[in-house]
Amino acid sequence: MTRPDARAGRSLDGDWQVIVDPFDHGRIDYQSRPTEEFAAERVRTGPADRVEHEFSDQHTLSVPGDWNSQRDDLFYYEGAVWYRRTFDAPPAAGERAFLHFGGANRVARVWINGQFLGRHDLGFTPFEFEVTQHLRAGENAVVVSVDNRRAPDAVPGMMYDWWNYGGITRSVRLITVPETFVKTLHAGLDPLDPTRIAVRARIDGPDRGVPVRVEIPGLALSGAFTPGADGTVEAAFRVPDALERWSPERPMLYEVTLRAGTDTLSERVGFRTIETRGGDILLNGERVFLRGICIHEEAPDRPGRASGPKDAATLLGWAKDLGCNFVRLAHYPHNEAMARAADEMGLLVWAEVPVYWTLDYANPETLDQAKGHLREMVERDRSRASVIIWSVGNETGDAPERTEFRRALGAYAKELDPTRLLSAALFARQIRDEDGTLTRLHVDDPFGAVADVLSINEYVGWYHDQPEDILGVEVTLAWDKPFVISETGAGVKRGLRGDASEVWTEEFGVRFYEAQLAWAESVPLLDGISPWILKDFRSPRRPLYGVQDWYNRKGLIDETGQRKLVFDTVRSFYARWAEGGAAPNEKRP
Q: Which residues bind ligand GCB (CB under 6 A)?
A: 161, 331, 394-395, 457, 487, 532, 552, 554
The residue among 281 and 294 lying less far from ligand GCB, judged by its C-beta, is 294
Q: Minimum Å distance from CB 69 to ligand GCB?
A: 19
Q: Minimum Å distance from CB 297 to ligand GCB?
A: 13
Q: Minimum Å distance from CB 513 to ligand GCB?
A: 15
Q: Which residue, judged by CB position, is nearest to ligand GCB in the bound state?
A: 161
The residue among 331 and 382 lying less far from ligand GCB, judged by its C-beta, is 331
Question: Hey, is 488 helix, strand or coil?
Answer: coil
Residues 245, 217 contacting (CB under 8 angstroms): no
Separation CA 457–CA 367 (nearest Å): 23
Number of Cα atoms under 13 Å in the Cβ half of residue 78: 7
The residue among 181 and 537 lying less far from ligand GCB, judged by its C-beta, is 537
b (16+ CB within 10 A) / e for 363-393 = eeebbebbbbbbbbbbbbbbbbbbbbbbbbb
The residue among 319 and 355 lying less far from ligand GCB, judged by its C-beta, is 355
What's the Rg (C-alpha) of the chain? 25
The residue among 26 and 393 lying less far from ligand GCB, judged by its C-beta, is 393
Q: Minimum Å distance from CB 438 to ligand GCB?
A: 17
Residues 118, 110 contacting (CB under 8 angstroms): yes
Q: Minimum Å distance from CB 191 to ligand GCB?
A: 30
The residue among 395 and 514 lying less far from ligand GCB, judged by its C-beta, is 395
Helices 308-322 and 565-580, packing angle to 10 deg: 70
Number of Cα atoms under 13 Å in the Cβ half of residue 190: 15
Q: Minimum Å distance from CB 537 to ligand GCB?
A: 8
Q: What is the 3-state secondary structure (H, E, C) of 177-242?
A: EECCEEEEEEEEECCCCCCEEEEEEEEECCCCCCCEEEEEHHHCEEEEECCCCCCEEEEEEECCCC
The residue among 405 and 551 lying less far from ligand GCB, judged by its C-beta, is 551
CA distances from 257 to 167, 216, 262, 471 (A): 34, 6, 13, 52
Give, for 459, the enclosing helix (H) or strand (E).
none
Give the Cβ contact number of residue 118 at 10 Å.
11
The residue among 194 and 489 lying less far from ligand GCB, judged by its C-beta, is 489
Separation CA 466–CA 456 (nearest Å): 19
Separation CA 449–CA 231 (nearest Å): 38
The residue among 243 and 295 lying less far from ligand GCB, judged by its C-beta, is 295
b (16+ CB within 10 A) / e for 494-524 = bebeeeeeebbbbbbbbbbbbbbbebbbbbe
Separation CA 101–CA 360 (nearest Å): 28
The residue among 505 and 552 lying less far from ligand GCB, judged by its C-beta, is 552
CA distances from 283 to 164, 246, 272, 503 (A): 36, 9, 7, 39
Residues 529, 479 contacting (CB under 8 angstroms): no
Q: Minimum Å distance from CB 161 to ligand GCB?
A: 4
Q: Minimum Å distance from CB 487 to ligand GCB?
A: 5
Give the Cβ contact number of residue 36 at 10 Å.
14
Q: Minimum Å distance from CB 570 to ligand GCB?
A: 16
Q: Minimum Å distance from CB 294 to ligand GCB?
A: 8
Q: Minimum Å distance from CB 364 to ligand GCB?
A: 25
CA distances from 325 to 297, 306, 344, 561 (A): 18, 21, 12, 21
The residue among 308 and 555 lying less far from ligand GCB, judged by its C-beta, is 555
The residue among 487 and 514 lying less far from ligand GCB, judged by its C-beta, is 487
Q: Minimum Å distance from CB 253 to ligand GCB?
A: 32
